[in-house]
Structure 1
Amino acid sequence: MSSDTGSENGPDLAQGVPLESFGTTGLLAGHVGDDTVMIARVGDEFLAVDAACTHYHGPLSEGLIVGDTVRCPWHHACFNLRTGEAVRAPALSPVSCWSTAIRGDKVFVLHKLAPAAGSVSVPAGAPQKIVIVGAGAAGFAAAERLRRLGYAGSLTMLSDDDAAPVDRPNLSKDYLAGGAPEEWVWLRDDAFYADQRIDLRLKANAVRLDIAAREVELADGSRVPYDRLLLATGAEAIRLPIPGMDLPHVYTLRSLADSRAIIARAASARRVVVIGASFIGLEVAASLRTRGLEVHVVAPERRPMERVLGPEMGDFVRQLHEEHGVVFHLENTVDAIDVQRVSLKAGGSVEADLVVAGVGVRPRLTLAEQAGLAINRGVVVDACLQTSVPGIFAAGDIARWPDPHSGADIRVEHWVVAQRQGQTAAMNLIGGHEKFDAVPFFWSQHYDVPINYVGHAESWDELLIEGSIAARDCVLRYKRAGRVIAAASIYRDVDSLRAEVEMERDSP
């Protein structure tokens, strides 16, 4: 930032900025009074919106313009620069738009505009009753978008959880580390569901689908009728079949209740053993190290995350955690757990008064299987996320969809993918034909190091590394048959966004 801007918040955009201020990015942040605002140059137009992403307040001016949208550098949320609409998750709320004017050789931001009216009209034949089974990322995003689209029919969300929808990534990151208060984890407050006429039913365990009658049967024997149905039952944490897994100091992490319980136990614990060097396992390790616990990680692989990120990034992740005091026991597994220690297959044991198993999840397919939906290591859906039974859709961790970028049918367990699938399903539940073609994206946080990942590479035959992994300034491109199918990055946010756009444009 230049020294002549007159404010630590950038230039006063109400006083105008020279047209030549816009560099190659076409983005410039500043302020109007106490509001932080960003101007985006789109062709010969200058469009102004709030400067902060509504997800985690990422700086949109450091993002990427694509058409008449801007993408957030942190977690790839996308906003329409003309309407402010949150076009893609993980952002769900819009940014405000501001009017602009060109006077001489300067562009001025004038005033905040009223929110734009919705541009989508709900078809006349839209269903009267929509039921969503599940209140995780996909289920909530579907319900939220349905109301944003203008759907006015009956909308019911059935959740077997006792808590309203939460921002699950926070449960293993900032909230678990003690850096985020609990009020931050709620996707919306209680008033939202009443205001939007969303019938959110907690502790409502769906046990059977009656496809002929178009009803969902609950554990208490009651039935909920539907015209269209979205299955978003998500996944459940795997519990290892080893002695001691049911002891009270042994946890998995999937829900807010799980995270609360781990935090409560951590208050009096001294040493934790994390079973598994997965993303969630190592995020738990980082969070509990931040809380001051001694942390040991037991995992069967040679390097953490090597299967997903490759050996070079795996070595970096291990070194990063070791620099923060984590002790690894790799190429090893846990044989048994007792009240004071875990026994290792390779011999010996590690004392522990807290154990967290982060060894993966399995999709919750029981409802779909019992209803006779097509299953293939997930619920089989078409490009519009409809299952083998017309009128029933599936989204999130359970859905296996035809991915246009890899050319394969895939199922992934990423928060942003689930949200975006929920948004696509919402459109199709009311009669749309929107294909799900988003490039998969996720992020992982380890202390002060974020790792962003776009695409999907179950295997690759070439790995290109740009920059320096050790210097935490890099982008890795995973290629198969000459095509980039995934990219991972550390502090190369715009490169990550560009990789996403390139993959969108390079479908086979």
Structure 2
Amino acid sequence: MSESGQPEQPDFAKGVALSALDEGVPLSGSIDGGAAIMVRKGADVFVVGAECTHYHGPLAEGLVVGETIRCPWHHACFSLRTGEAIRAPAFDSLPRWRVEEVDGKIFARERLAAPMTKPAPTRAPKKIVIVGAGAAGFAAAHRLRAEGYDGALEMIGADLLAPYDRPNLSKDYLAGSAPPEWLPLREPAWYHDNGVVLHLGRQATALDVSQKLLTLDDGSSVGFDALLLATGADPVRLPIPGADRPNVFYLRQLADADRIAAACGGASRAAVVGASFIGLEVAASLRTRGLAVDVIAPEAVPMARILGPELGAHIQRLHESHGVVFHLEDTVTEIGDGALTLKSGAAVAADFVVIGIGVRPNLSLAERAGLAVDKGVLVDEYLATSAPGVYAAGDIARWPDRITGERIRVEHWVVAERQGQTAARNILGFNERFDAAPFFWSQHYDQTISYVGHAPQWDRCEVSGDPASGDCAVAYWRGARKLAVATLGRDLDSLRAEAAFEKALG
């Protein structure tokens, strides 16, 4: 036993009895002075690093599915055999070690080299262009190079910055606990070294699918052999008097988060319009900075439409316990100098305002190009649009989802990344269906909600556990079909729900 009273973790270099390994259950240990896990699957035993390469989640608490292990925090998926990050939000491989069995014991030997670079795909497009430098765009570019694609690759992004971690903007970064250097998805050298040409601060204004030509807002043209549209979404603007004041903010880009953080410096009170996930994450971050926060929203219970009344009420109480004041079943009619006027007639004092009432997919380029569009860019199960050689992914893509049996469009970071990865493989000819169950997480103070599936409408929800205890799961049903599962403090249950959805689709 260690001094803390916990069992000492084995040194894998000194060997572990094979009989001590339960099938598919990660065993925590160490090797070369670092943390590692050992996993037995059938006749094979694997030793890989113990931390997810995304946000350092503890893989020992994750789920083994086949020859993969999934992170309990944000559902990244790794190959146990190669260490490769095969599903976002992780992109870097796990370290791994050669194992050897001697007299019924498993020993971890030398660390293995990273997997060999894959050979260039045959008959790949000579030039691939990605419009959008967010989650889907970066994930596609990364996967193209990871698959060995060695052709010309260009990305066009409206943001002035190379791809960065947008979910962090409303969470730790806005709260002041995550430094700017945590945000880039890759250092600038990665794009140079991997031959990814970035056109930043640029927008594509026209797309000629027959000529395979893009026109940019500076008048230049970019040709392509294959194209991925990942233009994302823009915040919905609040059409009321005063919404254009300089102390009114929307949060979509890093520059927006920096402006909000700067406004905190001379402020004591802030108002958040909208009790969306983004809105309430912003509220939590502003409370962490010490500001008084009021939230104004039209619903009776925050997020009840998505999470159900029990979990929605818990989130409201959680925020109230941290000092947030809610003005529910009310709307803002005017933003004045230092105060907001509500429909109820009440006034809410605020030094600045953050509006989070949703986003709208950026479909203008696809519409002008004549692509099939209906509440999103219509794609098939391979994420191909109505135009040959043109794919779409992320916030704009509306795809046939086999969980709901309907076409859906989802505005979640991890979904966008995974769609970017699938689209990239299909551009290279892999003919791979996008069948991943949608997943997102939302952070509120010290509690994280994980949500798997998609339930835009449901007729009943089943609650297991007590949200107030920080330990519960909620399943959302429409008739006899389970559409989604939300969990609080039950990371393994969330992973199991994801695996169950995938198995049902398989």
Q: TM-score by structure 1 length? A: 0.97
In 2, Cα distance between the equivalents of 1:239 and 1:268? 25
2:428 and 2:209 map into 1 onto residues whose CA distance is 19
Correspondence for 1:102: 101
Per-residue CA distance 1:7-56 (angstroms, 9 max, x = gap):
99832221222334334652111111322111111113210111100000
Matches within 5 A, 1:373-392: 373-392=371-390
The amino acid that maps onto 2:376 is G
Q: Deviation of residue 324 (structure 1)?
A: 0.3
Q: Which amino acid aligns with 1:319?
A: R
Determine the structure 1 residue equivalent to 2:308: 310
CA distance in 1, matches of 2:296, 2:374: 31
Q: Residues 143-182 of structure 1: matches in 2 within 5 Å?
A: 143-182=141-180
Q: Deviations over 1:56-85 (max 9, x none)?
A: 000011001000000110010000000011
AA matched with 1:57: H
Q: 2:333 aligns with which of 332, 335, 342?
A: 335
Identify the residue that residue 441 of structure 2 maps to in structure 1: 443
Of the structure 1 ranges 458-467 and 265-274, higher mean CA displacement relative to structure 2 is found in 458-467
Residues of 2 paired with 1:9 and 1:379: CA distance?
A: 54
Q: Does 1:506 align with 2:504?
A: yes
1:497 and 1:212 mapped to 2: Cα distance?
43
**Corresponding residue of 1:238:** 236
Q: Which amino acid aligns with 2:58?
A: P
- Where in structure 2 are there 5+ consecutive unaligned residues? none
Q: Which amino acid aligns with 1:262?
A: I
Please list the CA deviations of residues 98-138 of structure 1 after superposition, one character each: whole Å capped at 9, or x if unmatched. 1112223432211210112245x544221111100000000
CA distance in 2, matches of 1:33, 1:400: 47
Deviation at 1:476, TM superposition (A): 0.9
| Residue in 1 that maps onto 2:457 | 459
Distance 2:354 2:282 in 1: 8
Q: CA deviation at 1:481?
A: 2.1
1:34 match = 33
The TM-score normalised by the length of structure 2 is 0.97
CA–CA separation in structure 1 for the residues paired with 2:391 and 2:32: 47
- SS of the residue corresponding to residue 505 of structure 2 reads coil
Taking structure 1 as reference, are residues 407 and 72 closer, same or farther at Cα in structure 2, changes over 3 Å only? same
- 3-state DSSP class of the match of 2:430? coil
Matching residue of 1:252: 250
The amino acid of 1:200's aligned partner reads L
Q: How does 1:293-372 map to 2 (within 5 A)?
A: 293-372=291-370
1:493 pairs, out of 491, 494, 499, with 491
Matched, 1:476 2:470: no
Deviations 1:384-415 (A, max 9, x none): 00100010100000000001111110000000
How far has the Cα of 1:432 moved from its partner? 2.4
Note the residue ranges of structure 1 that are not aligned, 5 or more in a row. Answer: none
In percent, how many aligned pairs have the same letter? 56
Distance 2:84 2:244 in 1: 46
* SS in structure 2 of the partner of residue 146 of structure 1: helix
| Cα distance in 2, alignment partners of residues 388 and 29 from structure 1 | 49
SS at match of 2:64: strand
Moved over 4 A (4+): 4-9
2:293 aligned counterpart, secondary structure: strand
Alpha-carbon spacing, 1:10–1:360, altered in 2? closer, same or farther (3 Å): same
Q: CA–CA distance in 2 between the matches of 1:258 and 1:20?
A: 55
2: CA distance between counterparts of 1:240 and 1:10? 55
Contact 1:281 1:358 in 2 (8 A): yes
Equivalence for 1:17: 16
Q: Which residue of 2 aligns with 1:229?
A: 227
1:128-139 → structure 2 map (5 Å cutoff): 128-139=126-137
SS at match of 1:470: helix
Cα distance in 1 between the residues matched to 2:186 and 2:42: 36
Q: Is 2:2–2:8's contact at 8 Å kept on the other side of the alignment? A: no
2:273–2:353 CA contact under 8 A, matched in 1: yes
**CA–CA distance in 1 between the matches of 2:137 and 2:259?**
25
Correspondence for 1:56: 55
**Conserved in 1, the CA contact under 8 Å of 2:121 and 2:148?**
no
SS in 1 for 2:286: helix
Aligned equivalent of 1:420: 418
Structure 2 partner of 1:89? 88
Letter in 1 for 2:480: G
CA contact (8 A) 2:23 2:39 kept: no
Mapped to 2, the partners of 1:406 and 1:313 lie a distance apart of: 22
What CA distance in whole angstroms lies between the structure 2 residues aligned with 1:108 and 1:75? 30
Aligned to 1:113: 112
Report the more deviating stretch, 391-400 or 197-206: 197-206
Provide Cα deviations, 1:267-325, integer angstroms capped at 9, x if missing partner. 11110000000000000000110010000000000001101100000100000000000
